[in-house]
A and B are shown apart, each in its own frame.
Chain A
Amino acid sequence: MTSPISDSENWQPSELERRRRAERQRKTQKNVLIAGISSVLVLGTFSIILVNSPGWISLRDTFFKWAYGVEVLPKVILGFTTNITLTLIAGSSVALLGLLLALVRTSRSPALTPFRFLATIYVDVFRGIPMILVILLIGFGIPALQIPGVTNEVLILGTIAVIITYTAYVAEVLRSGILTVHPSQRAAARSLGLSHFQTLRHVVLPQAIKRVTPPLLNDLVALIKDTGLISILGVTDAVRAAQIQTAKSFNYTPYVMAALLFLAVTIPLTRYTDRILRRSMERQNAQGLT
């Protein structure tokens, strides 16, 4: 067996290929150089304009006084735990309820007609009204009714209000995902003998959720920040904790510290989701690229 290709011991790229490679390498080096110069120029110009603007010192002292930021950080972190706890509770509830709502809205069973109708009204209403009103209505409105046995604990009521609003958003995202799955997929699954539920579970939802993962992540990040809106009920979250400190000193650095905490959670979350998504795409396309 002496095929010319498998005889790799003495194989060398042709003269032409070597020239191609050299040319490619040269181009890459040139591009890196241009990108570097351009970045330095643009960022440099921005920093020079920033640092030389007349109010830079006062802006720096007002927003980026790090020593003060470190001093107030423990209080802001304490507030931030509220955001995280609420996000975990509200996020998981929203995922379940949103999925349920999306399934109801996309189902075609005649028995579910009244529920479809109600689900549509629910989404229309709660997606449209400002969340702050929902929070006030639930957080202050329900205790005002003075129904015996109903809690007036603002943390619980506030979380319920957040869940109500976000379920409406997430249901729509999931519904749009479900609608992107081509009917032939269902038909194929059913013809293979899968039940309606099995089709949903193994064919429709995996494809649907994968496609809407980026917008779902959007909603999750927005949720982390919006949980802070329940501070209107008297709960201290990261932003409120920062506001309290700012009110004492008239210095905005605490807000910047709160922003850093949010970033510390949302950036890794985004990167992680991106990676999962890329992997699943690779898996999906593993057998034959068309």
Chain B
Amino acid sequence: MSDFKNVKSRKRPIALVALALAALFLSSCSSSSEDAAAPAEGCVAGELATVEAGALIIATGEPAYYPWVIDDAPESGQGFEAAIAYAVAEKLGYGKDAVKWIRSTFDGAIAPGPKDFDFNLQQYSITTERAEVVDFSSPYYKANQAIVSFKGSKLDGVTDLAGITAAGAKLGAAVSTTSLDVIESQLGLKASVFNDNAGGVTALKNKQIDGLVVDLPTAFYLSAVEIDNGIIVGQIDGSDAGDSGFGLLLAKDSPITGCVTDAVDALTSDGTIAAITQEWLANTAGAPVLK
């Protein structure tokens, strides 16, 4: 009995110290979260366990396309994803100078093993299947899918989803996109699959396909700039249902996933993301919805 008591009394100071430490840690956290930089709770601003201490390495595709990154220069902060990246970095306590950009391919980013970036953004849609292999932050944008075509095509004048099938239209999409899923799963059609949107645009210009499915912001860009007599046939209703939105991609079990997610959530709730969306993707309203 006395032995047991001894053990217990010896344990108590340790518990007290632990409690004191916890209190200290909590108070330091709450005090820092009142700073102007306002980093996410539990994450020390500018001192996260990043790949390179003191810096935040952000990856994007090569080339990165309008309107996600303007002129393929993410360093400028111009473009929707470039702006989002810098906003998240700032929230995490990394100023513009502490951000380093690298480029990665789609496959390079999802390969197993250590990553050379802290997070990667190139319109990665979050799915539970993918989340088994990599980590995602909470979504920063959710896009409907839309069909781009040209005046006088089989799809010109189509006003509902049944009309697409009735027109016997051949649709294309880039590989690794939600667009491809929408054609095959939601519309039940067989898609022509291209390496990237550039291939799809060429095929559309050549009239080898009748329509190209892309996310709505890209659809506006392609129909206005890339395709002669380009039109947006419409958004595909409910095409965002199976899609949880675009997320920042991190290595599986990355130590900073929680902090990055907190930062995205904070930016969503304080309206920063809405403002960035308004700035770069404002013109995406007003496309007809195909049901």
Contacts and interface: CB of A to CB of B under 8 A. Distances in A.
Interface size class of A (residues with CB under 8 A): 20 to 34
A61 B111 CA distance: 12
B205 interface: yes
Contact of A152 (B112, B134, B207, B252): B207
Interface stretch (B17-25, B174-182, B218-226, B230-238): B174-182
Name the prevailing secondary structure of the A interface residues: helix
B208 interface: yes
Given A62-B133, A152-B206, A244-B180, A234 B113 contact: no
B207 A232 contact: no
Contacts of B107: 246
A62 B202 contact: no
A55 interface: yes
A232 B199 CA distance: 7
Interface string A94-116: 00000000000000000000000
B206 A251 contact: no
Interface in A223-257: 231-236, 240, 243-244, 246-251
A62 to B, nearest CB: 5
Nearest to A57: B112
B209 A234 contact: yes
B133 A250 contact: yes
A143 B193 contact: no
B129 A249 contact: yes
A243 B195 CA distance: 10
Contacts of A232: 194-195, 199
A140 interface: yes
B208 A152 contact: yes
A235 to B, nearest CB: 8
Interface in B178-218: 180-181, 192-195, 199-200, 202-203, 205-209
Interface in A59-107: 59, 61-62
A43 interface: no
B55 to A, nearest CB: 25
Given A59-B112, A234-B200, A251 B175 contact: no
Contacts of A48: none
A248 B129 contact: yes
B106 A154 contact: no
Given A231-B193, A232-B195, A236-B193, A154 B208 contact: yes
B110 interface: yes
Contacts of A140: 202-203, 206, 208
A290 interface: no
B127 interface: yes
Contacts of A233: 194, 199, 203, 208
Contacts of A234: 172, 192-194, 199-200, 203, 208-209
- From A55, A144, A240, A244, residue with most partner B Cβ within 10 Å: A244
Nearest to B181: A248
Contacts of A251: 133
10 contacts: A62-B112, A62-B133, A140-B206, A143-B206, A143-B207, A152-B207, A153-B208, A233-B194, A248-B127, A250-B134
Given A152-B208, A244-B176, 9 more contacts: A62-B111, A140-B208, A144-B205, A232-B199, A233-B199, A234-B193, A234-B199, A236-B193, A249-B130
5 tightest A-B CB contacts, nearest first = A247-B176, A234-B192, A143-B206, A250-B133, A250-B110
